[in-house]
Structures are given as structure tokens and as C-alpha cells.
Structure 1
């Protein structure tokens, strides 16, 4: 019976270490995002002015003040990138570009606050030397196959994607979509960054 107790303690310690590591990674990514949203240097990972961003690079910060959401924006929506923040969906526009910016994230980590989002709320993306302000138009729930939500528009728009229902255990059967449109671009000097 003693060996069972020690085994359970060992498993508990391993679980605690894994959770601590994941939490530390998320905090580190958030710290990088704050730096990435400041005036960017044109290093190897990102060239903000030209729009070239390497996969896995934190290149911005997504904020929705009304629901207290602040999360790094990472290039790509693969498993590793989504551990660091919300992922920019390849093939969609970058903030400031013409067309739809697609951002995806996990409902059980960074994008859980989206369950409180409502039309007319402001969404901000800080990237390099600018802040892009969007206003939420609508939300919808779709099947995972409904890629039409990312269709490119002729005007700057934003789509946030996460799994739904928010409190579902396991692989969620639906997707929660937030549609927003660009209302302003605030240069770095005006934001006080």
C-alpha cells in the first residue's frame, strides 16, 4: 500500500511540473507580445514594415478591453503557435492589409473570454508601429467545415475563431466566430507606445 501512495505522489508532482511549465510558456509568450507590439526592429524573425513574418513568431498583441482579453498574436495556427497565443491563420491578411485577418485560438486558454463578447465592442491589434482598432459586428456558431467565414473581403476586416461550446470537455463540435471591421489605424506616436 505504501508503494501506491508514493506512486500517486510522483504522478502528482509530474502533473504539477507539466502545468507549471505550460503556464510559464504562456506568460513568456505574453511578455514577448508586449515587446513585439512596441516599435519593432527588423530582425530575422519579423519585418513588420514589409509584412513578412516567420512561422511561430510573436508579432503583435490582441486586446479586447471590455472583456479583459490581452493575448500575443503568433504567426501560424499550428499546435506549437497556439500554445504561445492566438495564431494568425495562413492565407489571410495581416493587420493593416486589405482583406480579412483571421486569428484562431483555444477556447480553454487564451480565448475563453470571447464567451462574453458582444457587438459594438472594440478590438485592438498592436503590431509594430501601429494599432489597428476594429469594432465587433456580429458573432456566429458554425461547423468546423464552414471556411466561408474567412472569405476575403475588399475591406479590412477581422475574424476571430475558437471552438464551441466554451465549456465542452474534449474536441468541441462547433466553432465560435467573431466578425469585426476596421475603424481606425493609430500610428505609434499617437498611442504613446
Structure 2
């Protein structure tokens, strides 16, 4: 009877660990899968970019800048990207393959494609360019707004956006150029105040936008950044070194794997003890 009880206890421990590990590891693994898929999209973008002639790339760049100039001279209304009323804008003159550009934010381990528009299908997998704002090619009197979900069960996306602080630098790769932006402020606003994201004459601005607070989503978190020169190689190395989000996931996996090994040792020890008791 005691032997059966020990066996049931071991089975329960193993099942309990598997269930717990599945719950904890699901977002980590699913995010890794989404990240891999989006990395493929970015790789395809770079491959398609290589196929374009300098003349074709310049034509795309000038078309995007012309659009931005027209935008700065107009007064378009901006819609909340999470209202469900937005659609794809189809400014295809900047598209290369599936995307417009891509963004890298080392401090929070973001490396995602920037898609044309803010449809739910886009926001489920990557970053959307907000209609009615400047296209991500930089330039004076421009204000590009990029938006992403605060996080989904299967993808982190902009979940850690609130961890960015003043002075942090991120970049967008558009055509052949990397555009560097430095965070200068963050704020939380109501969805109806989105239309305040206007162009400031003479400034090259970018705002990252997501829902806030996480899981409640009744407000909007804005991270404002200004265009800066490319950081030195030393500074870029420092930024990469200080990147911590990826290490947190690795630590989590390590803890779970370590816990699994510890559980196996406990089960093995109990089994050995059970055998010793039976042999007496």
C-alpha cells in the first residue's frame, strides 16, 4: 500500500510540474516563435532591398518625403489605433515586400517589422505605422507614430515599452538608412487625446504608442523621441550590453529547467528510499 502511495505521489509531482511549466513557458515559447517569424519577414525585406536599384530606392524615398511634406502642410485627423475603426492605408510606395521598415529597441529586446497600417492582423504580429502621421523616413517637420499591442499571450510586442526612459536610443531601418531616435519624454493620455500628436515645425520626431495599463488598456502610453546622430560604436556596444529583457526570459527558462532537474532528483531519491524500505 505504501509503495502505491509513493508511486501516486511521484506521478502527482511530475504532472504538477509539467502543468506549471506549461503555463509559465507558453508565453516565452510562443513569443520566441513569433519573433522568429518576424525576423524572417525582416530578412526578406533586406533581401528585396538588395534587388532594388539606387534609382528605385531614391524614387521610393522621395515619394515618402513628398507625402510627409504634404502632411506637414495639411491638418489630418489621427485616429486611436485600438478603436477598431482603422484600416490599412496602403501607402505602398515605401513598402518593400510586406513591410515599410523595421524597428530595434535593444533596451526592451524589440526587433520587429513595421507594417503599413494598424489593422488588428498587423498589430497581432508586429508594429503598425499610424495613418495620418509621417512615414518612417525622417526629415525636418515630421512626426512618425508607431503603434503596437502592449502584449499578447503569444507575443510580447510593446509590453515593456514603459521601461524606456529619457536618454534611451532606438532606431528604425528604412531603405538603406538607420534613423536613430533618443527618448525625451513619456506620457499617459486618454484615447480621445490621440489627435494631439501633431507635427512640430523643424523637428524630426517619433512616438511609440501602446495601450496602458497592461491588461486594462483604457489609456495610451506614449514614448516621445527626437532624431539624433548615430551613436558611437562604444555607445552602441553599451546599449547592447545593457539590454536586459532577453536575459530575463533566459533566466526564467533556466529557473524552470533547474526546477525540473531538482524535481527529478527528489523523485529519484524517494524511489531509492522506497526500494531500500521494501528490501528490509
Distance 1:38-1:102 versus aligned 2 partners, 3 A rule: farther
Q: Pick from 201, 220, 226: which aligns with 1:175? A: 220
Q: Pick from 151, 170, 173: which aligns with 1:123? A: 170
- What's the TM-score, normalizing by structure 1? 0.72
| CA offset digits 1:129-157 (Å, max 9, x no partner) | 00000000011011011124421122110
CA contact (8 A) 1:64 1:124 kept: yes
Structure 2: segments with no counterpart, 5+ residues: 1-28, 65-92, 232-280
Q: Pick from 143, 159, 162: which aligns with 2:190? A: 143
| CA offset digits 1:78-119 (Å, max 9, x no partner) | 111212311001121112244100101000130012121111
Distance 1:39-1:119 versus aligned 2 partners, 3 A rule: farther
The answer for the alignment partner of 1:66 in structure 2 is 107
User: 3-state DSSP class of the match of 1:162?
Assistant: strand
Deviation of 1:28 after TM superposition, in Å, equals 2.2
Distance 1:37-1:126 versus aligned 2 partners, 3 A rule: farther
Deviation larger for 77-86 or 174-183 = 77-86
CA contact (8 A) 2:125 2:157 kept: no
Deviation of 1:61 after TM superposition, in Å, equals 1.5
In our comparison, the structure showing a higher alpha carbon Rg is 2
Regions of 4+ moved over 3 Å:
20-27
CA contact (8 A) 1:26 1:85 kept: no
The answer for the alignment partner of 1:14 in structure 2 is none
The answer for the alignment partner of 1:134 in structure 2 is 181
Q: How does 1:43-192 map to 2 (within 5 A)?
A: 48-49=60-61, 50-51=63-64, 52-53=93-94, 57-95=98-136, 96-97=138-139, 98-108=141-151, 109-154=156-201, 155-166=203-214, 168-169=215-216, 172-184=217-229
Name the Cα RMSD after superposition: 3.0
- What's the TM-score, normalizing by structure 2? 0.51
The answer for the alignment partner of 2:40 in structure 1 is 31
Distance 1:22-1:116 versus aligned 2 partners, 3 A rule: closer
User: 3-state DSSP class of the match of 2:229?
Assistant: strand
If each structure's helix is expressed as a fraction of its own residues, which one has the higher value?
Answer: 2
Deviation of 1:76 after TM superposition, in Å, equals 0.6
CA contact (8 A) 1:159 1:178 kept: yes
CA contact (8 A) 2:145 2:207 kept: yes
| CA offset digits 1:58-93 (Å, max 9, x no partner) | 122111112222111111111112123110011211
Deviation of 1:24 after TM superposition, in Å, equals 5.2
User: 3-state DSSP class of the match of 2:112?
Assistant: strand
Deviation larger for 135-144 or 84-93 = 84-93
1:152 and 1:119 map into 2 onto residues whose CA distance is 20
